[in-house]
Amino acid sequence: MDLYQQIFFITLTIAFGLLHFILFLYNRRLKSNLYFAIFAFLCAANTFFDFQVALAIGEEKELFYLRFHRAVMPYTSIFALLFIYSLFEHRIPKQFWLISCGLVTTGILAVFEPVGNFSYLLVFQIVVLIEAIRLMIVGIRRKEDGARIIAVGFAFLFAFSSYDTLMDFGVIAAIDDIQNGYPFGFVGLLISMSVYLARDFAKTNERMLTKERQAKELELKQRLLEAEDARKSKELEEARKLQLSMLPKCINEVEGLDVCFDMKPATEVGGDYYDYNVSEDGTLTVAIGDATGHGIKAGIMVSIIKSLFIGNAGQTDIPAFFEKSSKTIRQMGLGNLYMAMMIVRIKDGNLTCSSAGIPPLFIYRSATKSVEEFVIK
């Protein structure tokens, strides 16, 4: 019976150890899989030597396998702690190194005296049990993911390990002739780990599906934004072309005068405006303006002023034009849309100008190479 149990438990633990080692190879940042794999391999070795003691014929062989069993035991507990720390702690605490030193030291003593010094090793096994219980409680209180599932599995292992410890101290006798209880506890831990892995895989897949869905939504939004930007850019470009088409280039129809214009807006649609009108009697009327802001609103103001200028510039005097334009704009209810403007009228060699918010007028005298400033009040 012991041989069948030995084969079953060793095969099961090695299989799970290989599974977690492969999982570690695919994701080396997750150290918990590596610790659990080593823990499983050590448990398999521990189980092998423990059952070999019962199967051995003769005291010499029994003592031989018992020494190996005592040598493996401390490291099984060490990697069990490392596995739990990797799940519930961000770093390995100082007490781990003290516990490990105690386990290794008492393990060495137990190798030399497998029976006489075994009680020292059991004391540190109990310390490991207490530390593991503390970590489980901390993990559950923090609501760590999967803490309760892992805790149930280790509870099985601790319960059956405690059964073995109590038998070793002679506190209780074997129940139903079960001399090694901890392999049964390890089966409980393997079952809980299977549940934990299945749950973790399901959550990982769910997160991946959620991220994939979010990525598709973001891609769709990005495409919509790009399409909207392209549409707006096209509209602004058309508005820019329309605005530039409404502005004159140069004047060649007034004798004795060379007049030319140029504009470089900061945005697609600017608020700068200039225009001219030549009346039937040869009077040249030039307008320059600057609407508040930039963009579509400024372009609207420029379009309004151009319409007013074309319809009224040559028929009224300058102040009357300003007054009529202001009245019309107020009636349209455009809000905080304004335009600074200057109109210059040239007739028979005389220049008349009027300004509404535009800086002073400068006249350059080529004969004297001087600039005159005319402040309009």
pLDDT digits (tens, 9 = 90+) for 163-191: 877 776 777 777 776 777 777 888 888 88
Same domain for 40 and 99, yes or no, is yes
pTM: 0.55
- The last residue of a domain, from among 187, 214, 241: 214
Q: pLDDT tens digit string along 219-240?
A: 999 999 999 888 877 877 777 7
Domain end, chosen from 162, 197, 214, is at 214
Residue 368 is assigned to a structural domain of this protein: yes
Instruction: Tell the residue number behind the tokens 């209180």, with chain if given.
Output: 141
Which helix (H) or strand (E) element contains residue 268? none
- Residue 308 and residue 159 share a domain: no
Distance from C-alpha of 113 to C-alpha of 71, rounded to nearest angstrom: 11
Judge if 35 and 149 occupy the same domain: yes
- What local confidence, expressed as pLDDT, does residue 222 receive? 92
- pLDDT at 104 exceeding the cut of 90: yes
Q: Are residues 285 and 203 part of one domain?
A: no
Distance between alpha carbon 91 and the CA centroid of its chain, in Å?
24
Q: What is the DSSP letter of 360?
A: P
Query: Which of residues 186, 214, 242 is at a domain's end?
Result: 214
10 Å Cβ neighbour count for 204? 10
Would you give the end-to-end CA distance of the chain in angstroms? 117
Same domain, 311 and 199: no
> How confident is residue 270, by pLDDT bands cut at 50, 70 and 90?
low
Residues 144 and 260 in one domain: no
Residue with tokens 């004969």: 367
**Same structural domain for residues 30 and 172?**
yes
In a domain, residue 131? The reply is: yes
Q: How far is CA 196 from CA 38, 61, 184, 203, 204, in A?
A: 18, 40, 19, 10, 12
Contact between 321 and 343 under an 8 Å Cβ cutoff? The reply is yes
In terms of domains, do 210 and 298 share one? no
Q: Which domain holds residue 351?
A: 250-374
- The answer to whether the CB of 153 falls within 8 A of the CB of 136 is no
**CB 288, CB 341: distance < 8 Å:** yes
Q: What is the CATH number of the domain that holds 197?
A: 1.20.1070
Rg of the Cα trace of the chain? 46
- 269 pLDDT above the threshold of 70: no
Q: Tell me whether strands 250-251 and 350-356 are parallel, antiparallel or unpaired.
A: unpaired
320: domain CATH number? 3.60.40.10
Q: Are residues 64 and 145 in the same domain?
A: yes
> For residues 52 and 69, what is the distance between their CA atoms, to the nearest angstrom?
9
Domain membership of residue 223 (yes or no) is no
Q: Per the domain annotation, does 173 fall within a domain?
A: yes
Quick one: pLDDT at residue 275?
Answer: 86
pLDDT of residue 72: 93
**Residue 1 clears pLDDT 60, i.e. is over it:** no
| Residue in the block written with tokens 């997750």 | 30
Closest CA to 289 of 251, 326, 239, 330: 326
Q: What pLDDT score does 84 carry?
A: 85
User: Judging by beta carbons within 10 Å of its beta carbon (0-12, 13-18, 19+), is residue 303 exposed, middle or buried?
Assistant: middle
Q: Which residue has the tokens 């001399």?
A: 179
Higher pLDDT, 257 or 284: 284
Computed over every residue of the chain, the mean pLDDT equals: 83
Asked, for residue 111, whether it belongs to a domain, the answer is: yes
Are 51 and 97 in a shared domain? yes
Domain count, the chain: 2
Question: Is residue 346 in some structural domain?
Answer: yes
One domain, residues 30 and 159? yes
Residue listed under structure tokens 């005159």: 372
Q: Is residue 230 part of a domain?
A: no
User: Is residue 44, in this structure, part of any structural domain at all?
Assistant: yes
Cα 53 off chain centre by = 56
Beta strand 272-278 with 284-291 is antiparallel
pLDDT single digits (tens) 75-85: 999 998 998 88
Q: Tell me, yes or no, whether 55 and 181 share the same domain.
A: yes
